[in-house]
Structure 1
Amino acid sequence: MTTREDRKGARKSQGTTVMAMLLPLLLSVLAPASLIAPAAAQDAETGLAPQDIWSDEYSFQVFPWGGDSRVQFREYHDYFTMKQRMQNLADQNSEIMTFHDGMNGGMNARGEETNRGTYQGWHYNHDSPWMKITADVHGGECNAFVGDCGNYEDRPDIMLAGNFHAREWMSYEVPMLFLETIAYYYGMAGVDNDGDGLVDEDGWDGIDNDGDCLMLNSSFQDSNGDGNPCGPGDLGVDEDFSEQFITDMVNTREMYLIPMLNVDGNRYDREVYCGPTAWENCPTSGWRKNLRDNTVTGVTPIPDVDEEPDPSCDGVDLNRNFQYEWGAPLGATGPLFPGMCYAGDAGANNDVYNGPVDTVDQDGDNRLNEDHVDGNDDDADGLIDEDWLGGNSEPETKFIQDMTEMNDDNNDGFSEFKATLSWHSFSELVLWPWGHCTGCYSPDDEFLVYHGVKMGEMTDYAPMQSSDLYPTTGDFCDWHYGVHNSYCYTMEIGTAFHQHPDDIAHIAVRNLGVPFYMVEMADDPRYRAIVGIENTTVSQWLQEPSDVQVGNGDIPISLCLEESFPYSININMTHLMWRLVQPNRQQDDFGPTEWVDVPWKMSAFSEPGEDEESGCILLDGSNGTVLHSEIPLPDTSVGKIQYKAMLGTTNGAFPFTYPTLEDGGNYYELAIPYRASFGSSILSLMMFMVIASFVWGGLGLTLRAMFDDERGVIGLPEDMASEFDGDGE
């Protein structure tokens, strides 16, 4: 008889059997589903957080120089805070920086008498503040017109200017970060900028050279939110640059930094037109021009009754006011007729008003505006560009023109600026001449394109000829290149005229490498482009420490160059830099921080003699030319030799530095043992015998005296010694 328990047991047994049969099926169905959530969770958890790799300061983009929210690039400077910060930095770094307000003026290159007021804004009467940056900035020659010292004939000059257009606030924040970076890092030893334990491993090139950004979880890889993970401006990209490079650039260049050219317009945009929170109500609009009063009454005297700027017509677009090809009617990028401003609804192009037509007969031939600035003798009178149609009518553009034309260190009649950079916003572009014509190319187009593409790679900005965006006349870069043959570039920064303050820091960091690139190539932009296009210098090498023969006497170092490389044998251009670093007993930690104070010495490179090998093998396997240098070091010196080659060319490009950062650092380091002779073996043996005679002889005499029973105890008085005398009572 089957009981309830039996039936329950039978049902339980049947259920167990069924479950056993269904279990494989359930596992096959449910197993993939059970893995979906963990797989997603695993993907989300793959990789590291920023603080796992870098210091907290770098992870949260805290700049090492401290300061308030403006100095930390969390809030915009205004004109007054920017000027005060520039003055503070100049005061704190007086060996390399001087602050200037406008220019003194005098007789300019065009024979015009100017003064400080010539360069002050129409409305607020401010000067454009600027900084002169170079080593020993108070030395060299002084320029009474410009008002600066620190002018050296052998140092290339570069102009870097921002805020031509008042509403483009990021265009002065980027140059301020450039200034802060120089002030903080100049003269400093190699620094681990990101706190990952490495030094100078990721310089400015737009690439994550050390791969640390790629180690992050994917959710952290696009820290600037531009849609390009681990691209320029993201954490871990270009974050550990070379402090020695910054120092070298300051020591070998003259930089003229003008963060805010259009002070009048910027104040009006910030204080009146859009207000201090312009990113909320004017993100892609705002006041563009300066504050020239364009009131034309036709009757004198009828006053301007309110003396306030008239938004419908006042002001001049500074980047349409330069003389080169000024005034061509290009529709949307200029007024329909040169020099005309239309009030009210008819003034659709007033935002790009290019200034008044010139009314002076500059050459006194009773003709007006017959030879505008275009590099040609339009009136066939033997003079070029002597009676211009218009342009350079504004205090700000006159300031740029006179600083450019009165900066002539070697008195050859030409401007010293071989390279110029202007900052604008927005659109994330790199632009170069020409801007006034479409389908046209400059004589240096290939080389202008090369540098533009390089800066595009550094920032992930689109590189293009300026007119490919839209044609413009009276443009700063067209004027600088067309008149002064200066390689000129425009950076269109960011994605708004008034970028949100949260974006200031990462956009400025993304653009930081560009001015340093421009500063480096300012010595000879054309040749720097040729070297880059032909990839010449990457195959050249400086002898590594493992290959150096350290014997007695001077230490030989070789440099292998491409056979056609136009090196200069002038020691000021081409030389070996070296220094001996020696720890001492007072130092328990002798490293880069202490080494930075050890001065560098210079040794010349020379070509091989007739009986010396003149060839070498470049890194690409081709034949090269070898240069030799020697480090004059006494054989008694012990320590480490740090050395690097500084290479210059016959056409003035300087420096090309070896080893490169790709080779492993800013210099090579060679251990130097004690190399002096210890003397001959015979003299050494004789010295040993003399010393042994004194030592062992003295010891023998002492022992004999100690054990001599016939004498008293050595060192005791006679009355006491008798007590120990064997014959005493």
Structure 2
Amino acid sequence: MMSSAKGPGPRTLTLIWISIVLVFSMSLVSPTVGVTTSVSGSDDQEAEPDFEENFRQYFDYYSMTEYLQGLQARFPDLMKLYSLGRTFEGREIWCAKLSDSAAIVDDGDPGSEPDVLIVGAHHGNEWISYETALYVMTFLLENYGSVTGNGSAATYLLDNREVFFVPMLNADGTQYAHDTDRGWRKNREPNYALDNTPGPLRDPDLVPVSYGVDINRNYGWMWHDSGGSNVILSSGSSYRGPPDNKDDDGDAIVQFDIRHGIFPGPDEGVDEDPWDGIDNDGDGKIDEDPAGGFSSAETIAMKELGDTHDFRTAITYHSYSELILWPWGYTHEVPRDGPVMAQLGGRMAEMNGYRPMQGVDLYKVTGEFNDWFYAEYGTFGYTFEIGRTHNIPAEGILNHTRLNLDPALYLIYSAENPYISYLRFRSNMTTVTRDGDVIRVEIPMEDEGYPFALRMEEASLVYRWKGGPWERAGVVLGDDGNLSGSIPVDVDEGKLDFYLELKDDMGNIITEPAYAPLSLVSYHLKLDSIFSLYFGFDTVLVMLFTLGVSWGGFSLGIAKSIRSDRSREGKNG
């Protein structure tokens, strides 16, 4: 007679109880219980924006004009479109001012919003230059006011800056490159054989010997210096334009007399004090009788724009070489602000992978945009040499415009304080831990030469719980350079938003993340008990894998134990 069925043996029961206790213990020690993290306004990849459909083909002057007018109609509060003047062939030199109240200067508080200048198409064959300017401009308009990461950047910048875009400075040359000669570089003004004589002596019925001036050799600063442009050969691709040949300050000792071959120069009091920052003729005045420069409508327009605004930073887009350049372009001498310009240029180069250098290290240029704006106005100007060819195909437009968006946003942001480029925050290494009644925050920071003392007694973590009022917690700077602070936990659960705010002894305010308080670090605090557990997605994956391995092993062990028990029972039956 067979014996009656028995339950699992002691060995099997022991394995089952061990597996239950192990799984329960794993759930209690999950590393994501209690707090989860997110950053609002981060640079996470977002879906391709609709406005990018406008950048599948190159604009020409006429389609760009229509596009700008369309943006003006759609964003009348954010954009003011106007003309800086007309080119030789009568095209408008369009300028678009972008700000939260574009029709009002600095929101009615003069000087409160730094000015930034972005210029494209100094050269007619460099089409990607104006496409990039248009892309940055469109990005700011289309994302203003949105709740995405892009919206945080666009909204902050237009609320706190005035950004001027001149997307197609060389409208004549660009249109000629579209219609006639893809490689055309200069503008389209005529050059005459008598251009080296005083302007009034030129015969308007003469036939031009060539066309075009290189606009980026026609600015005043060091225009007269040799080796950085075509001086006499007007057909050359970098022809700087005709000399001034006028006695601008009225001290000439000899007058022009073409019939007798008398052409007075600096020694006779004509063009004796060029744009170089020096009193060359010893009359107590500086640069009052320039040798040349600003002979073209385009550079005259830019000079007038610079004279009437305080541009802190600027970009002029060109192609090609994948470089970021800054002054000086005419000499290897390092300018007064050379170190900070190099630091800022280097930070932007980290974003697009370009090579940063002082302009002259590429080759010498005279009468150039960045040199003029820095020498005359103190503007930190940068040349972006985009791509590896002038003739970038249309399907490559978005690759280059996207790549150069973040550096442009960073330069606009840095206009308030370019020295911020010396402070490097390692946001991806920020640690946040719950310690009883406080949340402890540690933010790694590297000081690469910030020239102003940080007032740590005023440093703070600005925080709020569950969307409530903003409060402040103190911050200390450790010997390792890291910043740390503690935020009181005065809620059982809910969302914590915070950002870091620093001040220096010059009154500059520095925040991390940038664009704060529109961009914030957010934490979600959950009840820290076994009845209210929160598992992050990564933790769930780890648990499933571990449970699979654990349960697989335990299942085999349990099955083997049951078989062993039954075998033993069979032998005893």
TM-score, structure 2 as length reference: 0.69
Amino acid at match of 1:644: Y
**TM-fit CA distance, 1:468:** 1.7
Distance 2:515 2:202 in 1: 67
Looking at structure 2, the residues matched to 480 and 334 of structure 1 have their Cα atoms a distance apart, in angstroms, of 18
Matched to 1:404, the amino acid is G
What residue identity is the alignment partner of 2:49?
P
Please report how far the alpha carbon of residue 135 of structure 1 lies from its aligned counterpart in structure 2 after TM superposition. 2.1
Q: What is the alpha-carbon distance in structure 2 between the residues aligned to residue 567 and residue 491 of structure 1?
A: 32
Partner of 1:162: 120
State how far apart, in whole Å, the 2-side matches of 1:334 and 1:504 are: 30
Q: Is the 8 A contact 2:172 2:187 kept in 1?
A: yes
| Aligned-pair CA distance for 1:152 | 4.3
Structure 1 residue 243, shift from structure 2 partner: 3.7
How far, CA to CA, are the matches of 1:374 and 1:320 in structure 2?
A: 15
Q: Distance in 2 between matches of 1:324 and 1:293?
A: 23
- 2 CA distance for matches of 1:360 and 1:547? 77
State whether structure 2 residue 242 is matched by structure 1 residue 334: no
Residues of 1 paired with 2:152 and 2:287: CA distance?
44
Q: Deviations over 1:509-529 (max 9, x none)?
A: 22222211211221222x224
Deviations 1:218-272 (A, max 9, x none): xxxxxxxxxxxxxxxxxxxxxxxx5423322222221111111111111122122
One-letter amino acid matched to 1:292: E
Superposed displacement of residue 120, structure 1: 1.1
Determine which of 606, 629, 642 is the counterpart of 2:497.
642
Question: Is the CA contact 1:428–1:491 (under 8 Å) kept in the aligned structure 2?
Answer: yes
Identity %: 27
Cα 1:472/1:659, change in 2 over 3 Å: closer
Say if 1:648 and 1:417 are closer, same or farther in 2 by CA, change over 3 A: farther
CA change 1:357–1:630 in 2 (3 A) is: farther
Which of the residues 241, 244, 257 maps onto 1:355?
241
Let me know the Cα RMSD of the aligned residues. Answer: 4.1
Do the aligned partners of 1:567 and 1:574 also contact (CA within 8 Å) in 2?
no
What's the CA shift for 1:658? Answer: 4.1
Structure 2 equivalent of residue 189 of structure 1: 147
Distance in 1 of aligned mates of 2:98 and 2:457: 25
From 42, 49, 54, the counterpart of 1:64 = 49
The superposition leaves residues 639-663 of structure 1 with CA deviations (integer Å, 9 ceiling, x where unpaired) of 64533344454546454224899xx
Deviation at 1:671? 5.5
Q: CA separation of 1:574/1:244 partners in 2, compared to 1, >3 Å: closer, same or farther? A: farther
Amino acid at match of 2:224: G
The residue identity in structure 2 corresponding to 1:65 is D
Q: Which residue of 1 aligns with 2:299?
A: 397
Structure 2 CA distance for partners of 1:93 and 1:539, relative to 1, 3 Å: closer
Contact 1:177 1:508 in 2 (8 A): yes
Map 1:592-671; keep pairs closer than 5 Å: 616-618=476-478, 621=480, 640-651=495-506, 653-658=508-513, 666-669=520-523
Q: Which residue of 2 aligns with 1:428?
A: 322
Q: 1:87 aligns with which of 51, 61, 69?
A: 69
AA aligned to 1:265 is G
**Are the equivalent residues in 2 in contact too, given 1:171–1:493 (CA < 8 A)?**
yes
Q: Is the 8 A contact 1:157 1:419 kept in 2?
A: yes
* Separation (CA, whole Å) in 1 of partners of 2:429 and 2:476: 10
Higher relative contact order (CA 8 A, sep 6+): 2
Q: Distance in 1 between matches of 2:409 and 2:153?
A: 9
- Alignment partners' CA distance in 2, 1:395 and 1:354: 13
Task: Please give the per-residue CA displacement for 1:28-83, whole angstroms capped at 9, x wherever unaligned.
Answer: xxxxxxxxxxxxxxxxxxxxxxxxxxxxxx99x98422575xx0x22101112222
Matched residue type, 1:642 = D
User: Once the 2 structures are TM-superposed, how far is the Cα of residue 455 of structure 1 from its aligned partner?
Assistant: 2.5
Number of the residue aligned with 1:213 = none
More moved, 460-469 vs 262-271: 460-469
Which residue is equivalent to 1:384?
286
CA displacement, residues 194-239 of structure 1 (integer Å, 9 cap, x when unaligned): xxxxxxxxxxxxxxxxxxxxxxxxxxxxxxxxxxxxxxxxxxxxxx
Partner of 1:295: 192
Answer whether contact 2:432 2:440 (CA < 8 A) is retained. Answer: no
Mapped partners of 1:66, 1:258: distance in 2: 19
Counterpart of 1:132, as a letter, is K
Q: Kindly indicate whether the alpha-carbon contact (under 8 Å) linking 2:217 and 2:239 is maintained by their aligned counterparts in 1.
A: yes
Deviations 1:114-138 (CA, angstroms, capped at 9, x unpaired): xxxxx31011x12211221222333
- Give 1:453 deviation, angstroms: 2.4
Q: Which residue of 1 aligns with 2:88?
A: 122
Name the CA shift for 1:649/1:261 in 2 (closer, same or farther; >3 Å).
farther
Check 1:454–1:658 CA distance in 2 against 1; reply closer, same or farther (3 A cut). Answer: closer
- 1:512 equivalenced with 2:409 (yes/no): no
CA distance in 2, matches of 1:548, 1:384: 68
More strand by share: 2
Q: 1:358 to 1:300 in 2, by over 3 A?
A: closer
Matched, 1:78 2:66: no
Letter in 2 for 1:432: W
The structure-2 alpha-carbon separation of the partners of 1:539 and 1:62, relative to structure 1 and needing over 3 Å to count, comes to closer
- Are the counterparts in 2 of residues 645 and 659 from structure 1 also a CA contact under 8 Å? no
Give the match's secondary structure for 2:191. Answer: coil
Deviation string for 1:175-197 (max 9, x for gaps)? Answer: 11112222222222236xxxxxx
SS at match of 1:454: helix
Evaluate the alpha carbon distance shift between residue 394 and residue 602 of structure 1 in structure 2; reply closer, same or farther with a 3 A threshold. farther
* 2:36 paired residue number: none
| Structure 2 counterpart of 1:372, one-letter code | P
Is 1:266 matched with 2:203? no
Q: Which residue of 2 aligns with 1:252?
A: 160
Deviation at 1:668, TM superposition (A): 2.7
Deviation at 1:483, TM superposition (A): 2.1
Residue 456 of structure 1: how far off its partner (Å): 2.5
Aligned match for 1:503, one of 370, 375, 396: 396
> What SS is found at the alignment partner of 1:129?
strand
Counterpart CA distance in 2 for 1:660 and 1:184 is 17
Distance in 2 of aligned mates of 1:444 and 1:467: 16
Tell me how far apart the structure 2 counterparts of residues 269 and 151 of structure 1 sit (CA, whole Å): 43
- 1:388 Cα offset (Å): 1.4
Q: Which runs of 5+ in 2 are unaligned?
A: 1-43, 253-268, 528-573
Distance in 1 (CA, whole Å) between partners of 2:305 and 2:326 is 21
Tell me the SS of whatever aligns to 1:132: strand
Gaps of 5+ in 1: 1-57, 103-118, 142-148, 192-241, 275-285, 408-415, 583-600, 609-614, 674-729
CA distance in 2, matches of 1:548, 1:121: 69
Deviations, residues 608-661 of structure 1 (Å, cap 9, x unaligned): 8xxxxxx7353x6458798x9999x9x9x9964533344454546454224899
Specify whether residues 653 and 266 from structure 1 end up closer, same or farther in structure 2 by C-alpha distance, changes over 3 A only: farther
Rate the CA distance shift 1:293–1:85 in 2: closer, same or farther, 3 A: same
Quote the offset at 1:372 in angstroms.
1.3
Provide Cα deviations, 1:553-603, integer angstroms capped at 9, x if missing partner: xx99999999996457999x9994758549xxxxxxxxxxxxxxxxxx766
CA drift at 1:493: 0.9
Q: 8 Å contact 1:157–1:256 — kept in the other structure?
A: yes
Q: Would the alpha carbon gap of residues 404 and 63 (structure 1) be closer, same or farther in structure 2, given more than 3 Å must change?
A: same
Relative to structure 1, the CA distance from residue 622 to residue 265 in structure 2 (aligned partners, 3 Å threshold; closer, same or farther) is: closer
Amino acid at match of 2:476: C
* 2:99 corresponds to which of 134, 141, 148: 134
Deviation at 1:448, TM superposition (A): 2.2
Distance 1:469 1:120, change over 3 A: same
2:384 to 463, 466, 491: 491
Deviation at residue 101 of structure 1 after TM alignment: 2.2
* Counterpart Cα distance in 2 of 1:500 and 1:482: 36
Q: Tell me, in whole angstroms, the C-alpha distance in 2 between the residues paired with 1:465 and 1:255.
A: 24
Q: Is the 8 A contact 2:117 2:314 kept in 1?
A: yes
Q: Structure 1: how far apart are the matches of 2:364 and 2:206?
A: 35
Q: How many corresponding residue pairs? A: 458
SS of residue matched to 1:667: strand
